Amino acid sequence: MSLNWTFLLQDDTSSLWKETFREFVDFKANGPSSVGVDLRLHGFDHVYGLPEHADRLQLRDTRDGEPYRLYNLDVFAYKLSSRLGLYGSVPLLVSHRPDRTLGLFWLNASETFVNVHYSMRTQPHTDVHWLSESGVIDCLVLLGPGPQQVFSQYAQITGFQALPPLFALGYHQCRWNYDDEADVKAVDAGFDRHDIPYDVIWLDIEHTNGKRYFTWDPVHFPEPAALQRHLDTKNRKLVVISDPHIKVDPDWSLYCEARDGGHFIRDRQGQIFKGVCWPGESSYLDFSRPDTRAWYSSCFSLSKYKGSTPSLFVWNDMNEPSVFYGPEQTMPKDAVHYGGWEHRELHNLYGFYQHMATFEGLITRSGGSQRPFVLSRSFFAGSQRLGAVWTGDNVASWKYLKISIPMLLSLSVSGIVFCGADVGGFVEDPDPELLVRWYQAAALQPFFRGHAHKATKRREPWLFGEQVTAAIRSVIKQRYCLLPFWYTLFHQAHTSGLPPLRSVPLWVEFPKEEDTFTVDDQYMIGGALLACPVTEPGASEVQVFLPGCGEVWYDVQSAVAFKGGRTLFLPVTLDTVPVFQRGGSIICRSTGSGSCTADLCHFPLTITVALNLQGVAEGELYLDDGHSFSYRDTKAFSLRRFSLKSGHLPCSFHRHLSMLSSVSVTCCNGGKTQSSE
């Protein structure tokens, strides 16, 4: 092989390393720096992961179009069935075959493209080509051999899911924007009046004084601390938004503090970068700087954040970062961060670092005793250890409801397990049927929040007639009754890396059943529940695949048993959604929902035992105080494991606290019902 070199002699080299995109010019001070690698996965023809894309769960062969792009962008009402980048990026690809699961983790935060080529010739294989704009080749292979091992290996590298406070698993009510304090109190009272539990009400950007974060509108929110205390008397919380851009205002002390402290990103000439976002002209915090993160964290202290209380939590939005009128509505790649790093090198990490600073700020605010809750729109590998994410600006249509399921499953496969989609769609107005079906689906997903654009009609659950109100009330109450189970699953994710939302049934529970490899409209919740949301308008019947030849499944409403390994066609009404409990599992529920998660401690628990064909079942229950780090620092928790064999239900204790009152036991297989203390 011979190499031919061509040398270019030119007096002016300023134009050698630059690219033009529309009216934008990207100057590459370090020249070309792309890195890539080709990998062949022998024997694999199903691969998953690489969020975030509004597409099916199994990755497509990219020879028929664009590669998968990993580049965090603010995309309003994003296109469906697309491989273009959305709000977050996780460069993890998971491949599976009946006897093996394998993970590929490409640790690179610059713009990345991934091509996937399937081949079925003689020996099946999948070729994966990674190409990143900059960085170094740092590819980790997760050898499994099974799904659980891959999840655990990935969590050991990037971090385990943070254990959220219990209230974060309840229902969240949000809108851009609730008008004023009276509006917030009226919505809060509406949930009580209509007997609908909820835990958190949210305020978008309009609550601030001129889009200055860490402030309050003096006319519409003159007494924010009193508002929070009002909610706190009902054990409810307030979440406010905090974006990464800071309004350029020399008369605002926080802006001056950030400017004088050197906390802003610079342009390539060394001046403070200025872009446009909600406040108008803005500068952007450089969260790659450790001292900037520490400073930002301090802004959440009760002494500094005037009007805040311990019951206030945070929502990080627009942190891709979003820069109006910028290239692709984001920051120029030649902007300069701490240490001289160009923005292109760490673009996909920007939101992760803001999320980190906010997370640490709330922990510090409590003196290290209380668990924080922070929602972030942008994310990267490792964001799971900081809180929750959501799928961004979706649309009130059946197609967006349907695509939300594989989007969340893809996040779950990639370690981002505390995830959800805006109930009802953020953009446009849902009809009553769509709204009910969306509530039913979201109640069976980890993060459960209703949210809407300011241009939409109000959509609190009681505004669509009594039938709709009753249906929504029912699913939210069912969610609250199931929270002991959800909380136990999050403890498992926190300690083992195992996601609560188990992709398709194959991944963890049925690794040898190829019929499940492409299923992405139903999924397991833990190892015990199979959820089959209704995602078509006017549905009177749904198709449900019950995996597991030799298994038995029980309808959670009727307790009717069905054999696994077959497809059912089940009738549905507006009030019903198919959910099945797997034979061999034990699930703990609350006997009541109350008005918020704090009320759950007043209700006894019921244990539903679903026997398998061998007459055996097992499960576990995790409990702690639901809000502090005492479970970690002083081992103040209760973990009970249940196992039914030969008609007996012994209970073993890993650690025990007096957190349980009476527990009723129900057996789905015609066994006797008994109560125990």
Buried b (16+ CB within 10 A) or exposed e, 132-165: bbbbeeeeeebebeebbebbbbbbebbbbbbbbb
> Which ranges in 416-502 belong to alpha helices (H)?
432-442, 466-481, 483-496
Is 429 considered catalytic here? no
Non-local CB neighbours of 641 within 8 Å, separated by 6+ positions: 618, 619, 620, 651, 652, 653, 654
How many other C-beta atoms are found inside a 10 Å radius of the C-beta of residue 74?
24
Decide: 610 and 351 in contact? Cβ < 8 Å.
no
Give the alpha-carbon dihedral of 301, 306, 307, 311, to 10 degrees.
Answer: 0
Alpha carbon distance 254, 274 (integer Å): 16
Non-local CB neighbours of 431 within 8 Å, separated by 6+ positions: none
- From the list 317, 422, 521, 620, the catalytic residue is 317
Asked if omega into 133 is within 30° of 0 (cis), the reply is no
Which H or E element spans position 188? helix 181-193
Alpha carbon distance 219, 228 (integer Å): 17
Amino acid at 381: A
**Residue recorded with tokens 């402290």:** 261
Sign of the four-CA dihedral 65, 71, 73, 78: positive
- From the list 199, 243, 334, 393, the catalytic residue is 393
Is 199 considered catalytic here? no
Which H or E element spans position 192? helix 181-193
Which H or E element spans position 352? helix 350-365
Alpha carbon distance 554, 546 (integer Å): 10
Alpha carbon distance 75, 53 (integer Å): 11
Which H or E element spans position 617? strand 617-623
- Cα atoms in the Cβ-side hemisphere of radius 13 Å centred on 372: 28
Strand-pair partners of 542: 570
**Residue recorded with tokens 């020879």:** 63
Q: How far is CA 59 from CA 83, 117, 378, 406, 481, in A?
A: 9, 10, 21, 11, 35
3-state secondary structure (DSSP) of residue 607 = strand
User: What is the number of helices (H) and of strands (E) in the chain?
Assistant: 13, 35
Alpha carbon distance 483, 477 (integer Å): 10
Alpha carbon distance 355, 436 (integer Å): 32
How many other C-beta atoms are found inside a 10 Å radius of the C-beta of residue 674?
11
Is 422 considered catalytic here? no
- At 115, list the tokens: 């091509």
**Residue recorded with tokens 């198709």:** 543
Alpha carbon distance 183, 176 (integer Å): 12
- At 183, list the tokens: 């509006």
Which H or E element spans position 390? strand 388-390
Alpha carbon distance 195, 191 (integer Å): 6
Q: What residues act catalytically?
A: 317, 320, 393
